[in-house]
A and B are shown apart, each in its own frame.
Chain A
Amino acid sequence: MTTVPLRRARGDNPVPTAFPAPPDASVLRFDGSDRALTDQLLAPLRGTGVVWWVLFAVSAAGTAVFAFSCWWTVAKGIGAWGNNIPVAWAFAITNFVWWIGIGHAGTFISAFLLLLNQHWRASINRVAEAMTIFALMNAGLFPILHLGRPWFFYWLIPYPATMGVWPNFKSALPWDIAAVTTYLTVSLLFWYAGLVPDLATARDWLDSRLARRIYGIFALGWRGTSTAWRQHRVAMVLLAALATPLVVSVHSVVSLDFAIAQLPGWHSTIFPPYFVVGAIYSGFAMVLLLILPLRHAYRLEQVITERHLDAMAKLTLTMALMLTYAYVVESFVAWYTHDIPERFTYLFERPFGTYAVLFWIMITCNVVVPQVFWWKRNRTSVGVLLAASGAILVGMWLERFIIIVTSLHRDFLPASWHIYRPTWVDFGLLFGSVGFFGFLFLLFVRFVPFIAISEVKRLRHDLGENGGREIGLPHA
């Protein structure tokens, strides 16, 4: 019997195995001492360069635009936006869904991959978690502003009011409040619990007395006893196990805002998984967009290696394929129902209607562009990764816009059909929120250890014990 030779990849590459971890794609390649590693990872706390200040000025300007647009909205009412019946939801809810979705990748990386024992996450989980928190801070503002009278937002919480009325829990909006506040709180606790040992390192590493005091307060007196590390690990695994269902549930709940309505384009059972996939997809794009400049600016190529970029790009491609499947199924089901409004929305209004240009840009960004990640050269190329991530973020924003606006603007009665046009306040809130996100992120990079130092040290030590191989490392 002759053996069939396994097909070889082009060139002299060996046959890929199930868990490829060649030495050149190591998850960590730092050669210096632990001291040198600490010095490098904490360097931004001692001060940053001109580029940081320039970006900070730009993002502070964006934050000012955001604050002004919020003030204008509250002062004038939401008539300042382009929304009008039947398009009662537009930019605000698009922004809300977009920002919440971006947050999901942070939890996916920090919690889901922790439980799955994916060691490469150690270098990027802190950045991803911070991204989650800042994205959620932005996201939460939009539905509150959309209430019209945002100062009464606490009416959505079941507190014992003298009015004697309560939120209606059969509506999706109190579910949203429960899901988003839970998500923000759990993300914040998870992030801070993981941060405490690194804040202690910052406290011990910095020279200025004032800085040591401030970091000392936030480090809570952490001293790295064996009991503390053990309980800390137990708590982190527990928090990860609690955060993991949130990765799946939060965007599912957000999708129910749409799916439980009887509107063609919204009323679909595929929405929860479709939204979750889209969320993680856009979040990966944002993580890439954040870590690539950081990696370059702080010379972190030995800590955030090509292995990370490759893994991130592969996950992004996977999400893109799942999302493509959702797009196809959505349209197929619309055709299969024989329901005229369903067919009209999916098969005519979206691809050929008023907002068709946006639809095709979305398809290009979300379906076509990520196909470049089939090639390894693109998966590790910084330029390609940045360009693709930017395109994906635009595409995902457009996806939510199309879901919301194309479904609403062609109402059941043609007499009430309406074309939605955003105002400057809508754009101010969208771009302002991007500025605010950048503002928070830059402050985070400057003042908080943005790579989990103790986790990277532990990983380095475990890799050393394991002969440099990633397979067979002990569990977290």
Chain B
Amino acid sequence: MRDSRWPEGAYAAEFADERHFVGALAMLRDQGYTRLETYTPYPVPRIESALRDPPSVLPGLVFLGGLCGGLFSYWVQWYTNAVSYPLNIGGRPAHAVPAFFIPTFEGTVLSAAVVAFVGLFALLRLPKPWHPMFEIDGFERASIDHFWIAVDATDPRGGTLSQQTLESLDPLRVVRVPATS
């Protein structure tokens, strides 16, 4: 995530209204700010185009996870039932492809889902109970009804100028955020 490393801290601005917040974010982008992060109580699709995130790698990971899980499930059944301990029940083949299909399907879904879940939180660098943004008094409302924008203090466009720029966007307030440890 863009806010995982702030060696010199950040400047953060709070907005009460979504439209106002989206407009402010677009203005920061137009001024050339690149190290921006937003905090919103619900997903706001319009900010994604403003922040130009690369496509998620999660679908690829999940596909690989499912593939491995399926192959492994089939291999387990083949090895246990056809190689290690073949049982002859009514002359049926030990390597029974149609019967092995169901656990293979389940193994595929199971490992793909586990990869989706673990992959999501790994990509987000969570769990991480502490973050400098949590030090701000009133940041709680970022998960209730307020919107925040943070500018990394090392942003090439920013530095101390960031504070003035953010204040010019007419937020509720602008706060200096400590560095990440």
Residues of B within 8 Å of A, CB-based: how many?
Answer: 67
Write 19 A-B pairs (CB below 8 A) sorted by A numbering. Answer: A35-B145, A169-B96, A170-B81, A170-B89, A170-B96, A170-B99, A223-B3, A223-B133, A223-B143, A226-B48, A227-B37, A229-B40, A230-B43, A230-B53, A231-B124, A235-B117, A238-B62, A238-B112, A238-B116
Given A178-B106, A227-B2, CB of A220 within 8 Å of CB of B128: yes
Given A170-B96, A179-B102, CB of A231 within 8 Å of CB of B145: no
User: CB-CB contacts of A183-219 with B at 8 A, as 1s and 0s?
Assistant: 0011001101100010011011100000000001100
User: CB-CB contacts of B18-42 with A at 8 A, as 1s and 0s?
Assistant: 1000000000000000000111111
A233 vs B59: C-alpha distance when bound (angstroms): 11
A246, chain B: closest CB distance, angstroms: 6
Q: A239 near B116 (CB under 8 angstroms)?
A: yes
User: CB-CB contacts of B137-151 with A at 8 A, as 1s and 0s?
Assistant: 001111111000000
User: Does A149 make an interface contact (CB < 8 A)?
Assistant: no
Q: A201 near B102 (CB under 8 angstroms)?
A: no
A224 vs B147: C-alpha distance when bound (angstroms): 10
B101, chain A: closest CB distance, angstroms: 9
- Dominant secondary structure of chain A at its interface with chain B: helix
What residues on B are CB-neighbors of A245 within 8 Å? 105, 109
Residues of A within 8 Å of B, CB-based: how many?
Answer: 63
A18, chain B: closest CB distance, angstroms: 27
What residues on A are CB-neighbors of B143 within 8 Å? 197, 200-201, 203-205, 222-224
What residues on A are CB-neighbors of B117 within 8 Å? 189, 192-193, 235, 239
Q: A224 near B130 (CB under 8 angstroms)?
A: no
B152, chain A: closest CB distance, angstroms: 13
Name the one of B18, B80, B116 contacting A158, with C-beta atoms under 8 angstroms.
B80
User: CB-CB contacts of A417-447 with B at 8 A, as 1s and 0s?
Assistant: 0000000000000000000000000000000
User: CB-CB contacts of A239-261 with B at 8 A, as 1s and 0s?
Assistant: 10011011001000100100000
What residues on B are CB-neighbors of A175 within 8 Å? 102-103, 106
User: Does A234 make an interface contact (CB < 8 A)?
Assistant: yes
Q: A227 near B109 (CB under 8 angstroms)?
A: no
User: Does A168 make an interface contact (CB < 8 A)?
Assistant: yes
What residues on B are CB-neighbors of A181 within 8 Å? 110
Q: B39 near A225 (CB under 8 angstroms)?
A: yes
A222 vs B121: C-alpha distance when bound (angstroms): 10
User: Does A318 make an interface contact (CB < 8 A)?
Assistant: no
What residues on A are CB-neighbors of B128 within 8 Å? 220-221
Q: A227 near B127 (CB under 8 angstroms)?
A: no
Instruction: Name which residue of chain B comes closest to A199, CB basis.
Output: B143
Q: A231 near B123 (CB under 8 angstroms)?
A: yes
A83 vs B114: C-alpha distance when bound (angstroms): 39
User: CB-CB contacts of B70-93 with A at 8 A, as 1s and 0s?
Assistant: 000100110011001101010010
User: Does A329 make an interface contact (CB < 8 A)?
Assistant: no
Q: A201 near B144 (CB under 8 angstroms)?
A: yes
A239 vs B115: C-alpha distance when bound (angstroms): 10
A165 vs B89: C-alpha distance when bound (angstroms): 15
User: Does A301 make an interface contact (CB < 8 A)?
Assistant: no
Given A166-B84, A228-B1, A230-B43, CB of A204 within 8 Å of CB of B112: no
A38 vs B144: C-alpha distance when bound (angstroms): 7
Q: A185 near B114 (CB under 8 angstroms)?
A: yes
Given A34-B144, A204-B141, A235-B120, CB of A225 within 8 Å of CB of B37: yes
A185 vs B66: C-alpha distance when bound (angstroms): 15
Q: A169 near B80 (CB under 8 angstroms)?
A: yes
Instruction: Name which residue of chain A comes closest to B149, CB basis.
Output: A226
What residues on A are CB-neighbors of B2 within 8 Å? 225, 227
Q: A223 near B131 (CB under 8 angstroms)?
A: yes
A233 vs B130: C-alpha distance when bound (angstroms): 23
What residues on A are CB-neighbors of B92 within 8 Å? 170
A166 vs B78: C-alpha distance when bound (angstroms): 11
What residues on B are CB-neighbors of A33 within 8 Å? 145
Segment from A338-346, A374-382, A454-462 that makes contact with B: A454-462
Instruction: Name which residue of chain B comes closest to A34, CB basis.
Output: B145
Instruction: Name which residue of chain B comes closest to A474, CB basis.
Output: B45
Instruction: Name which residue of chain A comes closest to B141, CB basis.
Output: A204
What residues on A are CB-neighbors of B43 within 8 Å? 229-230, 232-233, 454, 458
Given A178-B102, A193-B120, A201-B144, CB of A230 within 8 Å of CB of B48: yes
What residues on A are CB-neighbors of B106 within 8 Å? 175, 178-179, 182, 249
